[in-house]
Amino acid sequence: MYAIKTDSLTKYYGKSRGITNISLTVSEGDFFGFIGPNGAGKSTTIRTLLGLITPTSGSAELLGMDIMKQRNEILQKTGYMPSEASFYRGMKVREVIRYSAALRGLDCRKEAARLLDRLELNPDKKIRELSLGNRKKVSIICALQHHPRLLILDEPTSGLDPLMQREFFAILKEHNADGAAIFLSSHILSEIQRYCRHAAVIREGNILICDEVKNLGHTRAKQITLLGVSAPPAIDGIKNIESVEDGVKFLYSGDYHALLSALSSMPVTDMNMTEPDLEEIFMHYYRSGDM
């Protein structure tokens, strides 16, 4: 059974595109990254999975249950952290957290107290007095206090300071180690690279690639930096040319003999050839859609 399984999931808002034919699987217990620029369809995918919006076509299952028919059962076992944490402004932190537990018909006071302590959040503060970061902490507690089997997090770290981000991921890793699947939408690549085992890249409503994070960095293309020249050799397979101090940087996916032969006649003073980092690949996907 998969934590998340979508089959050609499509959502149109009238005539404008939300997501088109999203098919992906997230295994139980996985730590899955969902990468894409603003407007790519990350939040639309998540909101469709959670039943906030109805898909135009296609289907999806969360924890083996149909998102259209078994919404309540799914939400009972799912924790969700939205990208913008908004709560009832007149309520106190403690009241919002208890209300969330009560809506689930649960008493989560013990776990809530533990999380409040770890996230250093004052439960007696009014929501309207909280900074974005502190509202995010309330959201984290509401998403985690009932020990969900699936956690869906939409750009969760915006507003959290670096120390709190580390604590947040430590908590996530503990839940993941306990068997919870984590679906993390983000455009912060270092987060995905550091914490996720699998990831999918979404662009203009389509999934471009879905693979293990370590494989996403392995492509045929190499990043080459040449010093002493201002332009790359005039051969096929060169992309993303950038000027650097006293040299040029580019991605190369052509024949190495052709490259070496071309370089032998150029005044190159130094050369560096590496795997492109995830950010490089990510930017490339954003621009062209293939690698």
Partner 1 sequence: MTILKQELRQGRNALILWTAVIVFMLLICILIYPEMGSQMNELSGAFANMGGFSAAFGMDKINFGEFMGFFSVECGNILGLGGAFFAALLGISALAKEEKEHTAEFLLTHPLSRKNIVLQKGLSVLVQILILNAAAVSACAFCAFLIGEKPDIGSLTLLFLAYLTMQIETAAVCFGISAWISSGGLGIGLGGAALFYFLNLISNLAEGAKFLKFLTPFGYTDGAEILISGHLEAKYVTVGILFTAAGIAAAFWKYCRKDISV
State the nearest-atom distance from the C-beta of 196 to partner 1, in Å.
Answer: 22
Q: Shortest approach of partner 1 to residue 101 CB, angstroms?
A: 10
**In angstroms, what is the minimal distance from the CB of 170 to partner 1?**
24
| Closer residue to partner 1 (CB): 18 or 233 | 18
CB nearer to partner 1: give 151 or 199.
151
Give residues in contact with partner 1 (CB under 8 A): 13, 47, 50-54, 71-76, 78, 80, 82, 84, 86-90, 99-100, 102-105, 142
From CA 191, how far away is CA 45, in angstroms rounded?
A: 20
Nearer to partner 1, 154 or 280 (CB): 154
Quickly count helices (H) and strands (E) in the chain: 10, 14
* Contact (Cβ atoms closer than 8 angstroms) between residue 3 and residue 62: yes
Asked if 5 contacts 190 with a C-beta cutoff of 8 angstroms, the reply is no
Complex with partner 1: residue 135 or 284, whichever CB lies closer: 135
The tokens 């130094």 sit on which residue?
Answer: 270
CB 60 within 8 A of CB 8: no
Q: What is the nearest approach in angstroms of partner 1 to the Cβ of residue 185?
A: 14
Tokens of 130: 């909280």
Question: Rounded to an integer, what distance in angstroms lies between the CA atom of residue 148 and that of residue 152?
Answer: 10
CB 11 within 8 A of CB 44: yes
Phi/psi at 261 (nearest 5 deg)? -60, -45
Closest to partner 1 by CB, 71 vs 125, is: 71
- Report d(CA 251, CA 238) in Å as an integer: 6
Shortest distance, CB of residue 162 to partner 1, whole angstroms? 26
- Please provide the size of the chain in residues: 291
Q: How far is the CB of 10 from partner 1 (least distance, A)?
A: 14
CA–CA separation, 266 and 256 (whole Å): 15
For partner 1, the closer of residues 75 and 171 by Cβ is: 75
